[in-house]
Chains A and B, each alone.
Chain A
């Protein structure tokens, strides 16, 4: 399967813990995006990379959120000191024409 992959698919954590999610884009796509989707809403854009450069990060929800793509291949999204309001689906996409989405990581903060 050469689609976008994300790991883990589900994450349950306690409030105050840090979590990190990984995204592997389609190999020939140099643009990678992160979104958050809450129940009943459309995805909300967070940040994107072209190769290893993070070209937009003003949409990250707070300074507790950060993302990296150190070698221009996979990316990680970290949330520090998680809060219950962070519970959501976190989606990664890579771009070739359309943006192709991965299966998402569902985060539950207890």
Chain B
């Protein structure tokens, strides 16, 4: 059974600081995804990582993938309040199904 673990599950940080969210998964997978979810809202796609060593950046967010370590990171640079949200990583596969297996999410609060 595919398992996806994120840490930390909760993070409170100040504006201007840097931090990293970690996502570990238990079996080989083709793709890793990062999503953002605001309270009461649906999920917004941030990044799709397709291969070992993939790195993608959008604004203050940068995601990377190490398939050998089965690890992805989401790095936040110089955080701003607008980045406060819950961030999920998700992996393809698990039991032969094509659905995504999600982590529990990292609830991020960025304080002025």
* Interface, chain A (partner B; CB < 8 A): 31, 33, 35, 40-48, 55-56, 58-59, 91, 97-104
A42 with B42: CB separation less than 8 A: no
B33 with A98: CB separation less than 8 A: yes
A101 with B43: CB separation less than 8 A: yes
A91 with B42: CB separation less than 8 A: yes
With A43-B102, A98-B33 already in contact, the answer to whether A91 and B97 are too (CB < 8 A) is no
Chain A residues contacting B63 (CB-CB under 8 Å) are none
- Chain A min CB distance to B90 (Å): 7
With A42-B90, A42-B103, A56-B97 already in contact, the answer to whether A99 and B33 are too (CB < 8 A) is yes
A43 with B100: CB separation less than 8 A: yes
Chain A residues contacting B35 (CB-CB under 8 Å) are 101
State A42–B99 Cα separation when bound (angstroms): 13
Tell me, yes or no, whether B41 is within 8 Å of chain A by CB: yes
A98 with B88: CB separation less than 8 A: no
> Lowest 3 A-B CB distances belong to which pairs?
A45-B99, A42-B102, A56-B97
- Chain A min CB distance to B32 (Å): 11
A-B contact count (CB 8 A): 62
A48 with B97: CB separation less than 8 A: yes
Which single residue of chain B is at the shortest CB-CB distance from A35? B99
Which single residue of chain A is at the shortest CB-CB distance from B43? A101
- Chain A min CB distance to B2 (Å): 10
A-contact 0/1 string along B75-99, CB 8 Å cutoff: 0000000000000101000111111
Task: Kindly identify which residue among B90, B95, B98, B105 contacts A48, using a CB–CB cutoff of 8 Å.
Answer: B98
Given contacts A33-B100, A47-B99, A99-B100, 18 further A-B contacts (CB under 8 A): A35-B100, A41-B104, A41-B105, A42-B4, A42-B102, A42-B103, A42-B105, A45-B100, A48-B99, A55-B98, A58-B97, A59-B97, A91-B42, A91-B43, A98-B48, A99-B33, A100-B45, A103-B41
